[in-house]
Structure 1
């Protein structure tokens, strides 16, 4: 076994070794804890790549990521001058396989981060504006000592856009809870967290014909019915 046997872990995990190399490496693997750990790590990454192909990212997310990657300067490999030590095709294949593995893992991370960022922007400007622009949008303003909240409700979109200002920032265990009053009964319509006294969110609320809106302060987990006094209220 050559001195570079420890560098074969990635190629082994990717099934990129030939039969003789595999037999030799497996013999070495039985007595090498470091290589055993590396093979397990590379195998986990390869498994993640296989799972990731089951759910393709949205086309617009992929395009956005790839356009950003296009702007990143690429390192070009400089081939050394011919010498007595010639890199074999097998070694070059192992190097390429390792690069593929790391690049693919990085791509998964980018896509995952992009998905998280997109999820975090739900209720942002575009969604809020969509509800406001809905033909059936009904606007209700709630104002009082606790602050002001503008509610825009669209039955057609089954969404309610909520924008608050002048509100107290609550503890991590508390949230502002919006209630749609239907036939005198409060129906949960979303939890909201103020940052610097403000928030702007969009929540899904289906099959509700609200006659009024109310706001209470509840636990971060929410509740089926108000557990505290209503701090803001207005009829539709």
Structure 2
């Protein structure tokens, strides 16, 4: 392994992705390389913020809801229960059985609609989870890229932001902590700065103060990024003064 190789291992080391032999060699290298030590510290802090940004705490009542639903599951089909009740109450119930059947069919139809709605919600949740997992993998790939470079800056109202750029992967990640909520009906939009021309790069989640965002599109020749406040859904061009401007690390 050469010294040049060691200089390119900051991202992998920050994510604990190096084999033991390479990790030991890189730690010896850190002792005498201030630029690598600083960049490793910045990437480690970014990785920690990323973990906080994508973490999700389950609702406190989730366990009780699951246990309650388990106890409410029927052990016998509704049809069998209905037949046994009709047999017990005699001929009068049999005379009314067609009304009971109609009621059961109506109930089944309603339950069927509910089941379809619940199934759709489950499918939507699964798709959302898959997209989130894919985004997290892409973000981690940028952080672990051998050429990943970082730049941190203070933002308004005490927030802090870090941009991580991998030119080899042609992607950038923005990690923010303590971001104030935008005004009602507004959203923070990210932009690539292409020599003074702002190119849309995605939206931030207005409900999260801490988050990591994979900027949409390739870095290309962008020299930096900006953040503006835009109408919900975003804009094709900035409609307000930048909240922040950050140059990309070289």
Pair 157,113 (structure 1): closer, same or farther in 2 beyond 3 Å: farther
Q: What is the aligned partner in structure 2 of residue 84 from structure 1?
A: 91
The answer to whether the 8 Å contact 2:163/2:174 transfers is yes
- Of 192, 196, 217, the residue aligned with 1:206 is 217
Select 2:141's aligned residue among 134, 140, 151. Answer: 134
With over 3 angstroms needed to count, the CA separation of the structure-2 counterparts of 1:128 and 1:206, relative to structure 1, is closer
Question: Is the 1:128–1:161 Cα contact (8 Å) retained in structure 2?
Answer: no
Paired residues for 1:75-224 under 5 Å? 76=76, 77=81, 79-80=84-85, 81=88, 83-87=90-94, 90-91=98-99, 93-118=101-126, 124=132, 126-134=133-141, 137=145, 138=148, 140-146=150-156, 147-152=159-164, 161-195=173-207, 197-202=209-214, 205-209=216-220, 210-224=222-236
Alpha-carbon shift at residue 101 of structure 1 (Å): 0.7
**Under a length normalisation based on structure 2, what TM-score does the superposition of the two structures give?**
0.51
Q: Which has the higher helix share?
A: 2
1:233 to partner: Cα distance: 0.6
Tell me how far apart the structure 2 counterparts of residues 235 and 100 of structure 1 sit (CA, whole Å).
60
Matched, 1:74 2:74: yes
What is the alpha-carbon root mean square deviation over aligned residues?
Answer: 3.8
Tell me the distance in 2 between the aligned counterparts of 1:160 and 1:103.
47
Matched residue, 1:228? 241
TM-score, normalised to structure 1, is 0.53
**What secondary structure is seen at the aligned counterpart in 1 of 2:202?**
strand
Unpaired stretches in structure 1, ≥5 consecutive residues: 1-67
Unaligned runs of 5+ in 2: 1-65
Higher RCO (CA-CA < 8 Å; seq separation 6+): 2
Contact 1:131 1:159 in 2 (8 A): no
Look up the SS of the partner of 1:106 in the other structure: helix
Is the contact between residue 141 and residue 148 of structure 1 (CA under 8 Å) also seen in structure 2?
A: no
How many Å separate the matches in 2 of 1:153 and 1:127?
Answer: 18
